[in-house]
Amino acid sequence: MAQFATAHPNPAYPTLSATIALLKPITWFAPMWAFGCGVVASGVPLQERWVAIVLGILLAGPLVCGASQAANDWYDRFVDAINEPHRVVPSGRMPGRWAFYIAAMASVISLWIGYLLGPWVLGATVVGLVLAWIYSAPPLRLKRNGWLGAAAVGLCYEGLPWFTAAAAALGGYPGHQTLIIAVLYSIGAHGIMTLNDFKAVEGDRRMGLASLPVTLGTDRACRVACFFMAAAQIAVVALLIVWGAPVHAAIVAALIVVQLGLMRRLLADPEGRAAWYNATGTTLYVLGMLAAAFALRGVQGGL
């Protein structure tokens, strides 16, 4: 990789620290939290399916999410060489094609674990891996389109881990309620992913990536993000009421009210406060996910 300027020696094999930097453990939190919500929603005692649950946590975080991060860094290596040359691939800390190899190995291991956990988990794993690869890899490269890219990441980070966890814990299809709530929180996560794109508006504009802040402008993109986040959660509240979980619905509703107050501040300065909202409003969003998961323990089978 002579085209990448590097201040590091170019080893034949990646170091452990370089591999960890490539897989970005900090990004595993979202899918692992969603996986935890799926386990809670299943209502299965941990001691009864702990092996499946542990394997599922590894599947959601280090493996599928890690594979997506490695693939993204590999296919973004030329862009990163211009904008972020310190990153692990353009800096030379990840030598040769090892970023691609690691992404491929993590994907194969993910499929194997998905197979061990049953057909529903395997199916969800296949969907997640396909989205992870086509998000970054040409010719589709979904990240070039703000609508499709945010939808793919939202589904991989929230809905699929939730569904996978419930399926792994129960050893089969987790029920329509779990599927519907997981999809709704994936739709809401579309807004979270849009806000995440605010940190790279100028870089995306220069490189021709049509994120929503680039194509709609920051004000309109922020309003779209807020709409997705709020509408999805309001739908969750309505369903929980219909399914006979009014206390949990009230908890989620209260969290929405606080988020709406935070959204007002966000809309006053979208670029300046996008990261702030992701640290505050998004925290309330994921707490609502957990409340909804506890509600599902008592309402499964109500459809």
Q: Are residues 118 and 199 in the same domain?
A: no
Q: Indicate the residue among 123, 141, 173 that finishes a domain.
A: 173
- Separation of alpha carbons 134 and 138, rounded Å: 7
Please report whether residue 228 resides in a domain. Answer: yes
Please report whether residue 7 resides in a domain. Answer: no
pLDDT at 3 over 50: no
Q: Find where tokens 């709609």 sit.
A: 216
Q: Are residues 139 and 184 in the same domain?
A: no
Please report whether residue 62 resides in a domain. Answer: yes
Please report whether residue 3 resides in a domain. Answer: no
Range of the domain at 106: 16-173
Q: Are residues 300 and 190 in the same domain?
A: yes
Please report whether residue 2 resides in a domain. Answer: no
Gyration radius of the chain over CA positions: 20
Check residue 9 and give its pLDDT.
53
Q: Are residues 277 and 241 in the same domain?
A: yes
State pLDDT tens for residues 8-41. Answer: 455 678 999 999 999 999 999 999 999 999 999 9
Check residue 203 and give its pLDDT.
75
- The total number of structural domains that make up the chain: 2
- Separation of alpha carbons 266 and 151, rounded Å: 21
Q: Indicate the residue among 129, 155, 173 that finishes a domain.
A: 173
Q: Average pLDDT, stretch 153-168?
A: 95
pLDDT > 70 fraction of the chain, expressed in percent and rounded: 95
Please report whether residue 10 resides in a domain. Answer: no
DSSP-derived letter for residue 118 is: -
DSSP-derived letter for residue 94 is: S
Q: Are residues 169 and 250 in the same domain?
A: no
Burial-class residue 111 by CB neighbours within 10 Å (0-12, 13-18, 19+).
middle
Cβ-contact 288, 245 below 8 angstroms? no
Indicate the pTM of the whole model: 0.90
Check residue 300 and give its pLDDT.
64
What residue type is assigned to position 249 of the chain? Answer: A
State pLDDT tens for residues 198-220. Answer: 987 877 787 778 999 999 999 99
Please report whether residue 11 resides in a domain. Answer: no
30 to each of 9, 156, 248, 291, how far by Cα in Å?
Answer: 34, 9, 21, 16
Q: Average pLDDT, stretch 109-132?
A: 96
Sign, CA dihedral 49-174-40-183, equals positive
User: Structure tokens of 122?
Assistant: 């395997």
Q: Indicate the residue among 121, 138, 173 that finishes a domain.
A: 173
DSSP for 9-29, please give it.
---SS--HHHHHHHH-GGGGH
Q: Are residues 141 and 213 in the same domain?
A: no
pLDDT at 250 over 90: yes
- Separation of alpha carbons 122 and 110, rounded Å: 9
pLDDT > 90 fraction of the chain, expressed in percent and rounded: 82
Please report whether residue 267 resides in a domain. Answer: yes
Omega before residue 139 within 30° of 0, cis: yes
